[in-house]
Amino acid sequence: MKLSHHFGTTLREAPAGVEAISHQLLVRAGFIRQLGQGLFSYLPLARRSLTKIENILREEINAIGGQEMTMPVAHPAEVWQATGRWYSIGPEMARFKDRKERDMVLAMTHEEVVADLCKTEIKSYRQLPQLVYHIQTKFRDDPRPRAGLIRVREFTMKDSYSLDTDEAGLDKQYRAHYQAYFNIFNRCALPAIAVGSDVGMMGGSLAHEYMYLAPVGEDTLVLCRQCGYAANRQIARCAKPKAASEELKSIEKVATPETKTIEALAALLNVPKSKTAKALLMMAGHEEDSGTREEFIFAVIRGDMEVNETKLTNAVKADWLQPATDEQIRAIGATPGFASPIGLKNVTVVVDDAVPSSPNLVAGANEAGYHLLNANTPRDYAATIVADIAAAGDGDACLNCGQPLYTARGVEVGNIFKLGTRYSAAIGATFLAADGTQQPIVMGSYGIGSGRLLACVAEEHHDDKGLIWPISVAPYHVQLVSLAGEEAGVNEVADRVYAALLAAGIEVLYDDRNERPGVKFADADLIGIPIRLTVSTKAIGKGGIEMKRRDRKEFEIVSEANLMTRVQTEINSMLEEIAAKVVEVPFK
Rounded to an integer, what distance in angstroms lies between the CA atom of residue 158 and that of residue 51? 12
Rounded to an integer, what distance in angstroms lies between the CA atom of residue 353 and that of residue 340? 18
Q: Would you state the pLDDT for residue 197? A: 87
Q: Would you state the pLDDT for residue 8? A: 95
| Any domain includes 397 | no
Q: Specify burial of residue 298 (Cβ count, 10 A radius: 0-12, 13-18, 19+).
A: buried
Asked if omega into 257 is within 30° of 0 (cis), the reply is no
**Among 445, 530, 418, 428, which residue's Cα sits nearest to residue 132?**
445
- Please, are residues 395 and 404 in contact by the beta-carbon 8 Å criterion? yes
The domain that holds 540 is classified in CATH as 3.40.50.800
Q: Which residues contact 320 (CB under 8 A, 6 or more apart)?
A: 90, 284, 285, 313
- The angle subtended at Cα 190 by Cα 177 and Cα 392, nearest 5°, is 75
Are residues 87 and 166 located together in one domain of the fold?
yes
Q: Would you state the pLDDT for residue 178? A: 97
**Among 6, 3, 30, which residue's Cα sits nearest to residue 513?**
3
Evaluate if residue 232 carries a pLDDT over 90: yes
| Any domain includes 56 | yes
Are residues 455 and 535 located together in one domain of the fold?
no
Are residues 284 and 176 located together in one domain of the fold?
no
Are residues 432 and 533 located together in one domain of the fold?
no
| CA distance from start to end of the chain | 45
Residue 479 pairs in a beta bridge with: 509, 532
User: What is the percentage of the chain residues whose pLDDT exceeds 70?
Assistant: 99
What is the H or E stretch that residue 240 is in? none
Evaluate if residue 87 carries a pLDDT over 80: yes
Are residues 347 and 451 located together in one domain of the fold?
no
DSSP assignment letter at 338:
S
Are residues 431 and 501 located together in one domain of the fold?
no
| Any domain includes 283 | yes
pLDDT band at 335 (very low <50, low <70, confident <90, very high): very high
Q: What are the two backbone dihedrals, phi and then psi, of residue 473, each rounded to the nearest 5 degrees?
A: -125, 5
* Domains in the chain, number: 3
The domain that holds 44 is classified in CATH as 3.30.930.10
| Any domain includes 37 | yes
Are residues 452 and 482 located together in one domain of the fold?
no
Are residues 171 and 301 located together in one domain of the fold?
no
Q: Where are the alpha helices (DSSP H) in 29-137?
A: 44-63, 77-83, 85-88, 111-121
Q: What are the two backbone dihedrals, phi and then psi, of residue 335, each rounded to the nearest 5 degrees?
A: -120, 120
DSSP assignment letter at 239:
B
The string of pLDDT tens digits covering residues 94-150 is 999 999 999 999 999 999 999 999 999 999 999 999 999 999 999 999 998 999 999
The string of pLDDT tens digits covering residues 53-79 is 999 999 999 999 999 999 999 999 999
The domain that holds 344 is classified in CATH as 3.90.960.10
Rounded to an integer, what distance in angstroms lies between the CA atom of residue 398 and that of residue 19? 35
The string of pLDDT tens digits covering residues 318-330 is 988 999 999 999 9
Evaluate if residue 542 carries a pLDDT over 90: yes
Q: Would you state the pLDDT for residue 319? A: 87
| Any domain includes 442 | yes
- Please, are residues 52 and 473 in contact by the beta-carbon 8 Å criterion? yes
Rounded to an integer, what distance in angstroms lies between the CA atom of residue 538 and that of residue 510? 19
Rounded to an integer, what distance in angstroms lies between the CA atom of residue 160 and that of residue 379? 51
Evaluate if residue 291 carries a pLDDT over 90: no
Are residues 495 and 454 located together in one domain of the fold?
no
| Any domain includes 6 | no
Query: Roughly what angle, to the nearest 10 degrees, separates helices 563-579 and 490-503?
Result: 50
Q: Specify burial of residue 465 (Cβ count, 10 A radius: 0-12, 13-18, 19+).
A: middle
Rounded to an integer, what distance in angstroms lies between the CA atom of residue 329 and that of residue 298? 10
The HSE-up count of residue 52 (CA atoms within 13 Å, CB side) is 21
**Among 156, 135, 147, 137, which residue's Cα sits nearest to residue 38?**
147
- The CA–CA distances, whole Å, from 66 to 129, 131, 162, 173, 187 equal 11, 5, 9, 10, 18
- The angle subtended at Cα 558 by Cα 556 and Cα 563, nearest 5°, is 130
Q: What would the mean pLDDT of 428-447 be, rounded to a whole number?
A: 97
Q: Would you state the pLDDT for residue 201? A: 66
Are residues 375 and 498 located together in one domain of the fold?
no
Region of residue 405 (left: phi > 0; alpha: psi -120 to 50; beta: else) = beta
| Any domain includes 398 | no
Which pairing describes strands 252-255 and 230-232: parallel, antiparallel, or unpaired? unpaired
Evaluate if residue 561 carries a pLDDT over 80: yes
- The CA–CA distances, whole Å, from 164 to 126, 128, 274, 435 equal 10, 6, 48, 16
| Any domain includes 572 | yes
Cβ-based neighbour number of residue 387 at 10 Å: 16
Evaluate if residue 346 carries a pLDDT over 90: no
Query: Which one of 372, 387, 402 terminates a domain?
Result: 387
Q: Would you state the pLDDT for residue 14? A: 87
Q: Where are the alpha helices (DSSP H) in 97-225?
A: 111-121, 167-187
Q: What would the mean pLDDT of 9-18 be, rounded to a whole number?
A: 90
3-state secondary structure of 408: strand
Cβ-based neighbour number of residue 380 at 10 Å: 17
- Please, are residues 430 and 439 in contact by the beta-carbon 8 Å criterion? yes
What is the H or E stretch that residue 449 is in? strand 442-449
Are residues 383 and 511 located together in one domain of the fold?
no
Range(s) of the domain holding residue 129: 17-192+421-459
Are residues 50 and 82 located together in one domain of the fold?
yes
- Please, are residues 170 and 131 in contact by the beta-carbon 8 Å criterion? no
Query: Which one of 459, 486, 520 terminates a domain?
Result: 459
Q: Where are the alpha helices (DSSP H) in 122-271?
A: 167-187, 262-269
Residue 36 pairs in a beta bridge with: 39
Least confident of 172-186, 371-385, 466-480, 487-501: 487-501
